Chain A
Amino acid sequence: MAAAALREQLNALLSSMFASGLVDDQFQQLQMLQEDGGTPGFVAEVVTLFCDDADRIISELAALLEQPIVDFDKVDAYVHQLKGSSASVGAQKVKFTCMQFRQLCQDKNRDGCIMALAVVRNEFYDLRNKFQTMLQLEQQIQAQQ
């Protein structure tokens, strides 16, 4: 497969991600950072960091919420962290769901939190799939060059 086709595929993927609101301007900023700053692999690094971090937080959250007495302060702290990293990456949908999650957390609504966690997880997995596809495509392109 030619590099151009791959690139086209990548562009289509990115534009679909932007169009569906999965990522926002911040992600674009990151890409520009990579291009202008001459730091290849920057986006990949950040995205990988984010994915690992988020994965860890989500499993922590799941564990916390399974406890008979939920420590909502701790939950809140984790969600805040997740929100911060998703904002940094530009993972818009995850960020928004995190905002709702925090609201429920402050209300000490356990069922709501569990539901919110499910939503966050879904959003995150969706995003992670897209990110992985994206990184794969980029690697392929680099390999071709």
Chain B
Amino acid sequence: MGVGGRGEAAVSAAPAEEAAGKDGEEGSRWTMKEKLIAAAVLVWVLASAASGVVVHRNIRHAALQKMEEGLVSMCEERARMLQDQFAVSVNHVHALAILVATFHYEKHPPALDQDTFAEYTARTSFERPLLSGVAYAQRVEHADREGFERQQGWIIKTMKHEPSPVQDEYAPVVYSQETVSYIEGLDMMSGEEDRENILRSRASGKAVLTRPFRLMSNHLGVVLTFPVYHVDLPPDAKEEERVAATAGYLGGSFDVESLVENLLRQLAGNQELVVNVYDVTNSSDPLVMYGSLVLLGIPSPSHICMLDFGDPFRKHHMVCRYRNKPHLPWSAISTPSGVFVIGMLVGYIIFAAWSRYDNVKEDCRKMEELKKQAEAADVAKSQFLATVSHEIRTPMNGVLGMLDMLLDTDLTSTQRDFAQTAQVCGKALISLINEVLDRAKIEAGKLDLESVPFDLRSILDDVIALFSSKSREKGIELAVYVSERVPEILLGDPGRFRQIITNLVGNSIKFTERGHIFVQVHLADHSNLATESEVEPVANGMNGHKDEKTAVATSVSLNTLSGFEAADSRNSWESFKLLLSCEKNEMPYESVSDKVTLVVSVEDTGIGIPLEAQAKVFTPFMQADSSTSRTYGGTGIGLSISKCLVELMGGQINFVSRPQVGSTFTFTAVLQRCDRRAIGDSKPVMLHPLPSSFKGLSALLVDRRPVRATVTKYHLQRLGIACDVVATIELALGVLSGRNGSSLTSTKQPCMLLIESDSWGFKIDVSLRSRLLEMKQNGHTHVLPKIILLAAAESGKLKAQYAVDSVITKPLKASALAACLFQTLGITRSSNERRDNSGSLHGLLLGKNILVVDDNKVNLRVAAGTLKKFGAKVECVESGKDALALLQVPYKFHLCLMDIQMPEMDGFEATQQIRAMEAKANEQAVACDDSERDGATRAAKWHLPVLAMTADVIQATHEECTKYGMDGYVTKPFEEKQLFQALKKFLDPGMSS
């Protein structure tokens, strides 16, 4: 109970506090709830108590019944015994009466005297345990009194020991037992009870009893009287006969009190019981024969037994009751209290469970709420980041621009140094902000990937170019290889693709001090093939080829691009060769589906990623450890962005890294195939075609390392140069001299000899050159091949040092290679390749009528000049009003370029008026259309493309432009790319008039 109560209090306190925090309505709901709880608790407690009480009642009832039964049986037992003993005593008195009759009256002279009677009765007193004494009183009629008195020698006295007054008859005691000898000579008729007894007994001839009274011994008792007759009377004798025949009376006093006491003492359970014996002849006034009259304070169950002492006139009964209040068994208390306690406990458990459920539900609701808040906060954070980054970027551009200008001015070297530092820092800040912005955009789900055609190879060249100076500084070999099966033009987001690769390569450069960085691009299907087949040789190695395998083992690891071991053994020459062979086999690829899955791997031989940090590499702002950022700088956001971008491209990114050996990051990206023809010439801006002047040339490459050789070959092939590879210069000379010409795949004589710088020995140039000259004189070769050295170091020094035709500095990229070859081979660029960029704009604008509206004459002139260059016919006006005057339906213009800020009528207003006019014309056209339905040209609605010319190209301006009915904007001054992008929607080349 105590537990229950406390728990309840504690639990109900919590909702109370809760209620305090809520507003009024909710508060009242809470108190309602509390009331309900209180009511439920009350009901439960009452129910438990009631069940306890019921159990208690049942048990007590059963106990009482059992006690009552015991009482009844004990009472009955006592009554029967008392009755039996009494009957025995009465019988003896009867026998004594007969004795007296026999020996006193039938014998003459009587055989009895006082002494005999006393002795006899004393000796037989054991037979009458209930009688304190017996006495015989003779019937004496008044007439006989004097004779009797004389004969006896004493006078008859009353009970009060006075000489008896004159009576009709007397009953003086003649014989008495010694115990009651004090009554000898007393007239029994003088005592009221005795007299009545005598009269009744001689009338009935049976033993009669007096009502209980105080005996002379001061004990309660009754007197038994038995008549003695002169003659033996028949049982049916009449009352008068009996009275007449009466000779005397035999009496005995029952000392009931002591006798019953004795009797009860012999019986078990005496202590528990209180026994009362009553004379209930007069039922309204029962007379106590035995037992105290003092009633016990508490009424307790009693039992009444009828007693028959042989006197038909008198009625007696015995009342038994327990002395003490019947005490209940312990179980009557403990069981119901147990039940109650259990009930309370169960109640508490239910309550606790319920309130716990309630709490948990409430907590859950709170959690939900917090979760929502957190998510909202996250979105807000991303938006905030995006906004802030953007806001920072704008002034930063100003700062950088000004720094640029500052650097262009005359500065002392110290000042220049300061400014340059500031610029570098600013650029770093901008790039960091861009990254944060990207990250925020990705998180906010606002980053959309473009889908434009692009040339993957040129993007990789750009990335290489970006890092070439760094790689040269560090002396790292940086190389790119793109599988031939990768389509030339792909649809995707080149910017983001470049970002991923730039990030990975940037990381690699940062963490690599020696060896190489190798970027490879393959198609997913055969990349997998190679990985699978790679397993097999290992399995073979286990049975039999073990020796061979271990022998190669050292060289296997060195068969990478630079000879340093790489983390991912997949990129060793063996598997690379497999990839290449796959390509050869499956050429030409057939475009089965539109989707192309690329596998790009960036392998480096840097410090690797510590094992414990590998798990969190892609977590934002998480670098391998804090010392890394101290040593190498950077924020660690790049990889997480890359991961996001890769996932946006439908791919995955993962890596293999071994500390102190290197890391290989591999990602997949799903791009779309794009047919070059399909693009046509409409979007060549994105493409930077390589010069085609080298088609059909052939080259011979001297390189010990197959991987590196493949990379070089790849770049040469992109320029259309067929290439053969030999391992050493000696072999190359052999090939050139035609000794084993069969090994050459190309039939042409190689026109250039490319030699890796590590195959280049001291003084080898001189001997090589002389050998070649010798060969030419001998007629083995027709042309002297140009000798080109491939070197990682600065080219100028090497060229001066060695007698070679040219030196190409690593990293290799096709455009640089082309530039070098142009110079070396003396080929000039075909002129049509030079400037076909603007051709599209030319095509777009050729023959178009364009109206340019600007109040600024200079601007007007420049804009007109530019547009004219692309073949457009340009008309210029200097105000919105003039423009409106020229613009009348039907238009002769294809396009209108309008300045926004103009005096009198600005661009927005002019456009609105143009649109209003068009709407009117269109209505008329519709009206006319009803009459002449065939006029197909009429059906076309008038809508002149109007583009704003503006210097600030922020989003707001664009929106405003659209609002006023403009179709877009062009930057001022014109930027070819932007102009093209803006115009292509409105002008299609076929439309020229």
Chain A residues at the B interface, C-beta cutoff of 8 Å: 19-21, 26, 29-30, 33, 36-37, 39, 42, 45-46, 49-50, 53, 77, 80-81, 83-85, 87-90, 96
A20-B409, A53-B858 known; A46+B901 contact, CB < 8 A: no
- Say yes or no for B438: interface residue by CB 8 A criterion: no
Q: What does the 1/0 interface line of B852-880 toward A look like (CB < 8 Å)?
A: 00111111011101101100000000000
Known: A39-B868, A84-B901. 18 other contacts (CB 8 A): A21-B405, A21-B408, A21-B409, A29-B973, A30-B862, A45-B861, A49-B858, A50-B858, A53-B856, A53-B858, A77-B903, A84-B899, A87-B972, A87-B973, A88-B861, A88-B972, A89-B858, A89-B862
A115 CA to B92 CA in the complex, in Å?
Answer: 162
Contact A84 B408 (CB under 8 A): no
- Say yes or no for B42: interface residue by CB 8 A criterion: no
**Chain B residues closer than 8 Å to A84, beta-carbon distance:** 854, 856, 858-859, 899, 901, 951, 972
A33 CA to B863 CA in the complex, in Å?
Answer: 11
Contact A46 B409 (CB under 8 A): no
- CB-based closest 5 A-B pairs: A85-B858, A37-B869, A88-B862, A88-B859, A50-B858
Most buried by A among B862, B866, B869: B862
Contact B859 A85 (CB under 8 A): yes
B869: nearest chain-A partner, CB-CB: A37
Contact A36 B869 (CB under 8 A): yes
State how many angstroms separate the Cβ of A32 from the closest Cβ of chain B. Answer: 8
A33 CA to B872 CA in the complex, in Å?
Answer: 13
A80 CA to B859 CA in the complex, in Å?
Answer: 12
State how many angstroms separate the Cβ of A128 from the closest Cβ of chain B. Answer: 13
A86: nearest chain-B partner, CB-CB: B858
Contact A53 B869 (CB under 8 A): no
State how many angstroms separate the Cβ of B458 from the closest Cβ of chain A. Answer: 23
Partner of A46, one of B865, B869, B899, B972: B865
**Chain B residues closer than 8 Å to A49, beta-carbon distance:** 857-858, 861
Question: Can you list 13 A-B pairs with a CB-CB distance of less than 8 A?
Answer: A26-B973, A33-B866, A39-B865, A49-B861, A77-B903, A81-B856, A81-B901, A84-B951, A85-B858, A85-B859, A88-B859, A88-B862, A89-B858
**Chain B residues closer than 8 Å to A77, beta-carbon distance:** 901, 903
**Chain B residues closer than 8 Å to A53, beta-carbon distance:** 856-858
Partner of A81, one of B408, B855, B972: B855
State how many angstroms separate the Cβ of A24 from the closest Cβ of chain B. Answer: 10
Contact B868 A37 (CB under 8 A): yes
B855: nearest chain-A partner, CB-CB: A81
Contact A37 B857 (CB under 8 A): no
**Chain A residues closer than 8 Å to B865, beta-carbon distance:** 30, 33, 37, 39, 42, 46
A6 CA to B183 CA in the complex, in Å?
Answer: 190
Contact A46 B861 (CB under 8 A): yes
A39 CA to B405 CA in the complex, in Å?
Answer: 32
Partner of B858, one of A21, A37, A88: A88
A42: nearest chain-B partner, CB-CB: B865
| Chain B interfacial residues counted at CB < 8 A | 22
Contact A19 B408 (CB under 8 A): yes
A46-B862, A88-B856 known; A80+B409 contact, CB < 8 A: no
Interface of A is mostly: helix
A-B contacts counted at CB < 8 A amount to 68
A99: nearest chain-B partner, CB-CB: B398
State how many angstroms separate the Cβ of A60 from the closest Cβ of chain B. Answer: 12
**Chain A residues closer than 8 Å to B854, beta-carbon distance:** 84
Partner of A96, one of B405, B856, B866, B901: B405
State how many angstroms separate the Cβ of A126 from the closest Cβ of chain B. Answer: 13
A89 CA to B863 CA in the complex, in Å?
Answer: 10
Contact A83 B861 (CB under 8 A): no
A19 CA to B869 CA in the complex, in Å?
Answer: 27
Contact A85 B856 (CB under 8 A): yes
A39 CA to B867 CA in the complex, in Å?
Answer: 12
B903: nearest chain-A partner, CB-CB: A77
**Chain B residues closer than 8 Å to A20, beta-carbon distance:** 408-409
Q: What does the 1/0 interface line of B970-982 toward A look like (CB < 8 Å)?
A: 0011000000000
**Chain A residues closer than 8 Å to B856, beta-carbon distance:** 53, 81, 84-85, 88
Contact B408 A46 (CB under 8 A): no
A81 CA to B858 CA in the complex, in Å?
Answer: 10
A85 CA to B878 CA in the complex, in Å?
Answer: 14
State how many angstroms separate the Cβ of A105 from the closest Cβ of chain B. Answer: 14
The B827-862 residues at the A interface (CB cut-off 8 A) are 854-859, 861-862
State how many angstroms separate the Cβ of A68 from the closest Cβ of chain B. Answer: 24
A42 CA to B857 CA in the complex, in Å?
Answer: 13
A43: nearest chain-B partner, CB-CB: B865
A21 CA to B408 CA in the complex, in Å?
Answer: 7
**Chain A residues closer than 8 Å to B869, beta-carbon distance:** 33, 36-37
The B431-469 residues at the A interface (CB cut-off 8 A) are none
**Chain A residues closer than 8 Å to B972, beta-carbon distance:** 84, 87-88
**Chain B residues closer than 8 Å to A19, beta-carbon distance:** 408
Contact B951 A83 (CB under 8 A): yes
A39-B868, A77-B903, A80-B901 known; A88+B863 contact, CB < 8 A: yes
A54: nearest chain-B partner, CB-CB: B858
State how many angstroms separate the Cβ of A61 from the closest Cβ of chain B. Answer: 15
State how many angstroms separate the Cβ of A116 from the closest Cβ of chain B. Answer: 15
State how many angstroms separate the Cβ of A80 from the closest Cβ of chain B. Answer: 6
**Chain A residues closer than 8 Å to B858, beta-carbon distance:** 46, 49-50, 53, 84-85, 88-89
State how many angstroms separate the Cβ of B28 from the closest Cβ of chain A. Answer: 58
Partner of B866, one of A29, A80, A81: A29
**Chain B residues closer than 8 Å to A45, beta-carbon distance:** 861
A96 CA to B405 CA in the complex, in Å?
Answer: 10
A50 CA to B880 CA in the complex, in Å?
Answer: 21
A87: nearest chain-B partner, CB-CB: B973
A83 CA to B405 CA in the complex, in Å?
Answer: 18
**Chain A residues closer than 8 Å to B868, beta-carbon distance:** 37, 39
**Chain A residues closer than 8 Å to B903, beta-carbon distance:** 77
A81 CA to B862 CA in the complex, in Å?
Answer: 14
A81: nearest chain-B partner, CB-CB: B856
The B377-406 residues at the A interface (CB cut-off 8 A) are 405
A88 CA to B903 CA in the complex, in Å?
Answer: 19
A30 CA to B859 CA in the complex, in Å?
Answer: 12
**Chain B residues closer than 8 Å to A42, beta-carbon distance:** 865
A46 CA to B856 CA in the complex, in Å?
Answer: 11
State how many angstroms separate the Cβ of B855 from the closest Cβ of chain A. Answer: 7
A95: nearest chain-B partner, CB-CB: B951
